[in-house]
Amino acid sequence: MVRTFAQVNEKIREGKAVVFTAEEAAKLVSDEGVLAATEKIDVVTTGTFGPMCSSGAVLNFGHSEPPIRMGKIFLNEVECYGGLAAVDTYIGATQPSEDQGMQYGGAHVIEDLISGRPVMLRAQSYGTDCYPRKSIETVITLEGLNQAYLFNPRNAYQNYAAAATTGDRTLHTYMGTLLPNLGNVTYTTSGVLSPLLKDPELRTIGIGTRIFLGGAQGYVAFEGTQATFNHQILENGDDWYAGVPLCVIGDMKKMSPRYIRGAVFDGYGTSMYVGIGIPIPVLDEDLMARLAVTDERLYTRIFDFDVPSRSRPALRVVSYAELRSGEIELSGKKTKTAPLSSFSMAREIALLLKEQVQKGEFLLSEPVEFFEKGKRFKPLDITSVKEG
């Protein structure tokens, strides 16, 4: 059986589309088989809600009287980028504030704006004939901005690695607090609900894909930064995929603070929790089989953060079923596991997206272009600069 995006969208418009979450689809395949599930299901919804540091927002403030060409820009004392003409800026989620340090950052400013809270704008300029004003201090709100859109260069990692430390001291990292001597393992992928693990070959996801982003409809703008396409066959014959993130964009004015949250990682800094969901059309049996893979057959690697290197050693391969059990065996000892992402929120997003598709409120968009395959990550090598 073969379907097209157009056929699926027609059923959505007519209110006849059969939509399952990835969890529900996996159960149906287990009960009735791939062929029966393919014939029955039109769309499978996915979800993830976790820390996505490579995030931020583009904002346009409008012009003051007299006008100013903003150079140094601060929102609630979080510095923003001032090199985007006169009154545009980009605020990064991980930028710490000048007065609170890593306890408050760009992610919190974005959450404050989406929540409708006022934010203090402070900016300076050297002044020009066309932009004579040299400083400004005022209060802004999301409603008062001309444009405010989330623009996240690297979100929704296909399959993020887990973390632990074999060292004898506690580490404070972007993977949370790691306890010494393999005291814990942290992980952040939503497994059976993870969007890019459900369509690991990216047959339906590319530039222009419509997604659930922060409570609103957004889009995949491009491949995510650091994109690589890693696929291996494990010793047990199962597939392992990793490496692909998405660059995403969406209108902040339509988003909800339930699905965009600022966060602080103790000793590391700020990050932003982002809710993303992708509806995947069931095009054929092969895709259905991949959509139905459960946590028992989805895997990640645990890396040792005691090694301060970009090439940390892998301690073992582990399934998401093991990680979600709360305890695994690692180097001969029982080790507690803890998610940094929220599976309950991922499930909520998948269910909400299912409801929107069923009601005809969320149509699928076929990519205008697919990502280039075969890319490999290029490291930054340190080289000397010779004078003259």
Query: What DSSP letter does each residue of 288-322 carry, written as one string?
Result: HHHHT--GGG-EEEEEETTS-SSSPPEEEEEEHHH
> Among 287, 293, 279, which Cα is nearest to 366's?
279
> Among 83, 65, 80, which Cα is nearest to 121's?
80
Can you tell me the distance from the alpha carbon of 18 to that of 44, in angstroms, rounded to the nearest whole number?
9
Question: Are the C-beta atoms of 50 and 341 separated by less than 8 Å?
Answer: yes
Question: Are the C-beta atoms of 251 and 218 separated by less than 8 Å?
Answer: yes
Question: Are the C-beta atoms of 256 and 273 separated by less than 8 Å?
Answer: no
Can you tell me the distance from the alpha carbon of 116 to that of 255, in angstroms, rounded to the nearest whole number?
11
> Among 163, 209, 166, which Cα is nearest to 186's?
163
* Residue 60 bridge partners (DSSP): 88, 147
> Among 170, 124, 168, 121, which Cα is nearest to 144's?
121
Can you tell me the distance from the alpha carbon of 45 to that of 328, in angstroms, rounded to the nearest whole number?
29
Interior angle at CA 192, CA 188 and CA 196, nearest 5: 75
**What positions carry a catalytic annotation?**
130
